Amino acid sequence: MENNTLDQTILDLTLILMYLSKFDEKSRFEVEANKSWKGYNFNVIKDLENSNYIYQSSYKTQAVSITEEGLKKAKNLLSKYNIKAV
């Protein structure tokens, strides 16, 4: 495992937790959306959104959508941190 800053490690692990706890929800346009509850540090959520790993349709909602890029990144992070997902 490469050396990461504490902040980067927090971002990585938060994205992993969002990925592992995601749920599917159909939007009003009948599109599958990988959702996760956003009970995490607001600055971390903002950084993940700025990196295009998650998307918030509104800051008032309680869930975020994990983007395709976020799903790919989370899968790579699982491997990086040697986490076996079921």
- pLDDT higher at 57 or 1: 57
Report pTM. 0.85
Question: In whole angstroms, how far apart are CA 47 and each of 8, 50, 52, 82?
Answer: 10, 5, 9, 24
Specify the pLDDT at position 33.
76
- Calpha distance 59→2 (Å, rounded): 34
pLDDT at 55: 94
Rounded Cα–Cα distance for residues 59 and 62 (Å) = 8
Q: Give the domains, in start order, of the chain with CATH numbers.
A: 6-80 (1.10.10.10)
DSSP 67: P
Q: pLDDT digit string (tens) for 4-60?
A: 799 999 999 999 999 999 988 765 555 667 999 989 999 999 999 999 999 998 878
In this prediction, residue 9 carries a pLDDT of: 95
